[in-house]
Amino acid sequence: MNGAQSLVATLIAGGIEVCFTNPGTSEMHLVAAFDRQKQLRSVLGLFEGVVTGAADGYARMACKPACTLLHLGPGLANGMANLHNARRARTPMVNIVGQHATTHLRHDAPLHSDIPGIANPWSDWTRTSSSAAELGRDTADALRAAQSEGGQVATLIVPADAAWNDGGIVVSEGAPIPIRLPASAAVQHVGKLLHSAKKTALVLGGNALYGRGLALAGTIAEATGTALIAPYPFARMERGAGRPEVLRVPYPREQAIALLQEFSELILVGAQRPIAYFASPKADATVIPCGCRVHTLASPNEDPCGALEALASWLSARDAKNPLRKQEQVHQPCGAITLDGLAAVMAATLPENAIVVDESMTSGRGMLAAAKNAPPHDWLGNTGGSIGIALPLAVGAAIACPSRKVLCLSADGSSMYTLQALWTMARESLKVTTVIFSNRVYSVLKREFASLGMGDPGPVARDLFEIDRPALDWVALAKGMGVPGCRVSSLEDFSKAVLNGYSAEGPTLIEVPL
Amino acid sequence: MNGAQSLVATLIAGGIEVCFTNPGTSEMHLVAAFDRQKQLRSVLGLFEGVVTGAADGYARMACKPACTLLHLGPGLANGMANLHNARRARTPMVNIVGQHATTHLRHDAPLHSDIPGIANPWSDWTRTSSSAAELGRDTADALRAAQSEGGQVATLIVPADAAWNDGGIVVSEGAPIPIRLPASAAVQHVGKLLHSAKKTALVLGGNALYGRGLALAGTIAEATGTALIAPYPFARMERGAGRPEVLRVPYPREQAIALLQEFSELILVGAQRPIAYFASPKADATVIPCGCRVHTLASPNEDPCGALEALASWLSARDAKNPLRKQEQVHQPCGAITLDGLAAVMAATLPENAIVVDESMTSGRGMLAAAKNAPPHDWLGNTGGSIGIALPLAVGAAIACPSRKVLCLSADGSSMYTLQALWTMARESLKVTTVIFSNRVYSVLKREFASLGMGDPGPVARDLFEIDRPALDWVALAKGMGVPGCRVSSLEDFSKAVLNGYSAEGPTLIEVPL
C-alpha cells in the first residue's frame, strides 16, 4: 500500500464520504487511490473557490467534516477566500494539498511556492507529511484537529513522494473527539442572571442555532423570557414554523445598535461578541450599547448545545413548552418587481425542509424576516464577509442533503467571483434553484461611500461601483455551464420560475433584473 | 491632504498610469482619492485573479511597474495565483491592499485576517503603513522595491485610518532605480567561452528576450555561432520576421533533454536553470544532460540586457549583422480542424505587431513554432504554471498597447479559472481575439497519469480529468459577459473568425471544439 492509498483509506475510516477537488499533476497518485475506492465520492469544481465553498456547505448540512483535495500553493490560494468563510463558520475541514516531491523542492521549479506559509494564515492546523509511513497518522491527526475546538480548518500538505512511496499505514481511530463543555460556574452564573429577570438575550452561534441546540434555546427562552438573537454572520440557522424565533443583528451599525439597546445583558452561547464589519472615521465599530454587560456561557471553541443542555438542566426548564410558531399561509403579491414583493413570493413558495443559501446582499436584506413563518427550513449565511460563497455553498448543501430543495439567493456582483459553481450543479444534477438579484452595482460600496461622508461618487468612483457596462446576462452564463435559466420581469413570473425550479430534477437559474 | 490622496499622488509621481482593481469597503478613501485625479486610469475586474493577471500583462508590455488595489485578505488571496505567475515573470508590481482601521483590528471582525502573513509568501517586499504621514513614503518605497532586483512584487498594506487621516505627504523620487550589472569577470569568462567554439547556448530570460536585449543576443549569436534558447516558462519574447530565433525548451522532459543535449555549455542570461515542472517516481526533474556545464552571465536579479551589452562589447561584436529571418508567406490550410492546421492558420493570419498570449496548453504546443516566420510579434507565456492567466494577461497587454491586436490562445480548462476577464475586455473595448481550444479534458493530467505508470485511469480518475459533462458553451459564456463569440468547425471558419476578430473594434471569442 502506498502513502496515497493509506491517506484515502484513513479518510474513509474517519467517516469522510465526499471529497471536493480540483486536482493537478502533483496529486495524481491521490487520484489513483480514489480510483481504487468506491466509498469516497469525488466532486469536481472548475475553480478552487468552488471546491472550498462547496466543502463548507456540505459540512454545515451533513454535520460531518468536509474534505478537499487541492493542487499546490496556487490551488490552495484560489480556495482561500472561501476557506476564510469556512473558518469563520467553524466548519470542520480537512484540506489535502499536494506538494512537489521532496527531492524536487531544491530546484525552485515554476510551480514551487511556500505552501505551509500560504496555508498558515487560513488554517488552525497545518502539517507537511514527512513520508508514506507517516501519511496515515497525519491524516488521522488532521481529521481530529478539524473536529476539535468547535470546528477547525486543518491543512495537510502531501509531498508527491509521500503519496507514491510504499509503506502506507491506515490509521483508524476509535477514540471520540473530545467536546469541550463550559465550566459549571459559567452555567450557574448565567442561570442566576436569567432568573433575575433583567432584559437578557442569548446570542447563539454554532450548533445552538439548529437541531437539539436550538430546541433547548427555545425551551430556555420560554421558561425565562430571555430573547434569542444571532450575530449578523451565522453559519446555519433552523427556522420557520415549529422553530423558536431568533432575531438577527442587522448589518447596518445603527440598526444593530437599535436592536441591542433593548438588552442589559447579552449571553454568548458559541457566538462571537457582535461587532460591525467596519469602523469609520466618525465612529468605531461597537454595536453593543454602553452599560450592556456581556457574559459567556460557551465560547466558540466549546459546545454550545452541551452548554444549553446544562443551562436548561440548571434552570429545570427541560419540560417547558417550546414557543413554536405556526406555519402561516403567506399572501403572494403580484405585479411589478419590488424587493418586498420578491421576499414575500420567496416565503410563500418555500418548500418544507428547504435549504436557503443567502448572499443576496443589499437586495435581499428583507428575505430572512419574510420567511420566518414559512415551512421549516435551514438558512445558511456568509460568515466571513468574503463574497462569492453562495453558489459553492449551495453545491455542498445539495450534495449533503439530496432529498431537500436548495434555494440559492445571490447577487450579480458576488456571484461573479465563483460562477463556475453552476457547472458543478449541472454535472451533479443538484436540485438548486439559484436566484440572481441583478442590480448591476456593488450597492454596498455605493452606500458605504456615502456613509463615510464623501458625498456623491464622482465618475471614477461610480465606474468602480457600477457593473452595468456591459450588463451581465445571467441566462447566457448559466446556459454556458449547462444550467437552464430564465429572466423574470414580474412577481408572477418570479413565483412561477421558483416553483419550476423546485420541481426540476436538476439546477435552474432565475435572473431578477432590479 | 489625507493619506489616501498622498498615496495616489505618489503613485502618479512614480509614473503609474493605470491601476487594476476590485476595491471593497475598506478602500473607499482610496477610491475617493482616485476620483480627484484624472491621470490615473482605474480598470475594474470582477474577480481579483483577473486584476493581478491583467496588471502582469500590462507591465510586461508597457515596461512599467503594474499597480493593483485589492480588498483585505480575501481580495489579496483571490489574486494570488496570478501574483505567483507575476513573481515568476519578475514583473514589477505594487499591490495596494486595504486593511481595517487600526482600532478595529482588536475586534476580530468577520473580515479580519492576517494580511501580512497572507502577503508574505507571494511578495518580495511587504509593509503595513503606520500612519497617513508615512503613507507617501511607504508608497514610494514600494515602487522602488517593485523595480529593484530585476522586478519584484511589492505589497503595501494600508489601514483605513492611514488612508482617511490628514497629514499625507507626496513623495516624488528623483533618483533612478539602480540596475545591477554582472561582474566583469563573468562577462570575460563567458566571452572566452564563446570564443572557444564549444557547443554553447545563451539561455535568455527577462529583457534579453525582447527589444535591445534580444537584438544584442542576435548580434552575439551571429558573431560567435552560439545558439539562443529560452526556458519553457518565459514572460515575453519578441519573435517573427526580423527577429533572431530563440528556441524554447519543450515542456515534456524527454524533449527538453533532447534539445539540451546538443550543448556542452549553457550560459544563463537572466534565466533560471532549465528544470522540468515535476519529478516522477522513476526520474528526477533534471533536463540538463550530465557533462553539460552551466554558467551565469546574469542572474535573474541582474540586468540581462546590460549584461549582453557588456558581452557584445567584450566580443567587439557590436557591428555584426543580425541573423534576421525574412517574413514568409505561409500556406493557409483548409478543411477539417487539426492542431497543425490551426497553428498554420494562426501563423498565416497574424497581424504585424500582434501580441500573442499563450496558455493553450496541450492543444497549442505547435503554435509557437508555427509563428516563427510570421510578421514581428510579441509572445507572452505562463511563467509560474498556475493556470488561468491567459485572459487576464490579454486584458493587461491590450491596455498597455491599445494600437496593437492581441491574440489570446487559451483552453477550456484553464480559461474557466478567470473567465471574468471577458467582462473587462468588453467594458474596456479591448482589441482581444480570444481562441478557446475546447478539448473538454484536463489533457495534461491524463497524460501525466499515464506517464507515471498508473495505466489507464479508472472511472473516478477519468471523471476528474474529463470536463465534458456538461460541455461548456463558450459562445454563451462570452455572450453573458458582453463579448460576441462564434464556434468554428473547419479551418476556413477559423481563418475567417480570426480575421473578423482582428478587424473588430472590441473583443471577440472563438470556440474551437477539438
Interface residue B26 vs chain A (CB under 8 A): yes
CA-based nearest distance B9→chain A, Å: 15
CATH code assigned at A490: 3.40.50.970
Task: Tell me which amino acid residue B407 is.
Answer: L
Per the prediction, chain A carries an average pLDDT of: 94
Domain check: are A133 and A213 in the same one? no
Domain count, chain B: 3
Interface residue A466 vs chain B (CB under 8 A): no
- From B314, B348, B381, give the residue that closes a domain: B314
Distance CA A168, CA A131 (A): 9
Tally of CB atoms within 10 A around B222: 16
The proportion of chain A whose per-residue pLDDT surpasses 90, expressed as a percent, equals: 88
Domain check: are B476 and B344 in the same one? yes
**Cell numbers that stand for B419 in this block:** 473567465
A397-456 tens-digit pLDDT: 999 999 999 999 999 999 999 999 999 999 999 999 999 999 999 888 988 898 888 888
Domain that residue A384 falls in? 339-513
A12-27 tens-digit pLDDT: 999 999 999 999 999 9
**Cell numbers that stand for A297 in this block:** 456561557
Domain check: are B236 and B158 in the same one? no
Distance CA B251, CA B248 (A): 9
CATH code assigned at B193: 3.40.50.1220
A109-137 tens-digit pLDDT: 999 999 999 999 999 999 999 999 999 99
ω before A23 within 30° of 0 (cis)? no
A200-211 tens-digit pLDDT: 999 999 999 999
3-class SS of residue A484: coil
- Minimal-distance CA residue of chain A relative to B119: A118
CB within 8 Å of A101: residues ≥ 6 apart: A159, A160, A161, A164, B278, B279
A166-185 tens-digit pLDDT: 999 999 987 778 788 989 99
Domain check: are A92 and A156 in the same one? yes
Please say if the pLDDT value at position B321 is more than 60: no
Domain check: are A49 and A155 in the same one? yes
Domain check: are B159 and B49 in the same one? yes
Residue B334 lies in a domain: no
Q: Quick one: average pLDDT of B380-400?
A: 97
Please say if the pLDDT value at position A321 is more than 70: no
Domain check: are B347 and B474 in the same one? yes
Residue A453 lies in a domain: yes
Question: How far does Cα A42 stand from its chain's mean position?
Answer: 20
Q: What is the pLDDT of residue B426?
A: 98
**Cell numbers that stand for A241 in this block:** 414554523
Domain check: are A443 and A486 in the same one? yes
Q: How far apart, in Å, are the Cα atoms of A308 and each of A207, A212, A298, A314?
A: 10, 9, 9, 10
Please say if the pLDDT value at position B324 is more than 70: no
Per the prediction, chain B carries an average pLDDT of: 94
CB contacts, 8 Å: B446 with chain A: none
Residues listed for chain A: 514
A217-234 tens-digit pLDDT: 999 999 999 999 999 999
3-class SS of residue B336: coil
Interface residue A234 vs chain B (CB under 8 A): no
CB contacts, 8 Å: B361 with chain A: none
What's the predicted TM-score (pTM) here? 0.97
SS3 for A368-387 is HHHCCCCCCEEEEECCCCCC
Q: What is the pLDDT of residue B289?
A: 92
| Cα separation of the two ends of chain B | 57
Residue with cell 500582434: B354
Nearest Cα residue to A89 out of A262, A290, A233: A233
Please say if the pLDDT value at position B331 is more than 80: no
CB contacts, 8 Å: B25 with chain A: 277-278, 444-445, 448
Please say if the pLDDT value at position B370 is more than 70: yes
Domain check: are B497 and B422 in the same one? yes
Four-point Cα dihedral B366, B372, B375, B376, nearest 10: 110
Give contacts of A 147-166 with B, CB under 8 A: 160-161, 164-165
Residue B232 lies in a domain: yes
Nearest Cα residue to B478 out of A425, A486, A477, A513: A477
Residue A327 lies in a domain: no
Give contacts of B 182-211 with A, CB under 8 A: none
Please say if the pLDDT value at position A490 is more than 90: yes
Q: How sure is the predictor about B326, in pLDDT bands with cuts at 50, 70 and 90?
A: low
- From B164, B196, B223, give the residue that closes a domain: B164
B413-442 tens-digit pLDDT: 999 999 999 999 999 999 999 999 999 998
A350-406 tens-digit pLDDT: 999 999 999 998 888 899 999 999 999 999 999 999 999 999 999 999 999 999 999
Domain check: are A429 and A379 in the same one? yes
Domain check: are A78 and A188 in the same one? no
Please say if the pLDDT value at position A295 is more than 60: yes
B173-196 tens-digit pLDDT: 877 787 889 899 999 999 999 998
Residue B189 lies in a domain: yes
Q: How sure is the predictor about A90, in pLDDT bands with cuts at 50, 70 and 90?
A: very high
Q: Best interface-test mutation with B: which of A35, A83, A88 has the largest number of B CBs within 10 A? A: A35
Give contacts of B 306-345 with A, CB under 8 A: none
Residue A323 lies in a domain: no
Residue A356 lies in a domain: yes
Residue B282 lies in a domain: yes
Domain check: are A216 and A257 in the same one? yes
CA-based nearest distance B286→chain A, Å: 9
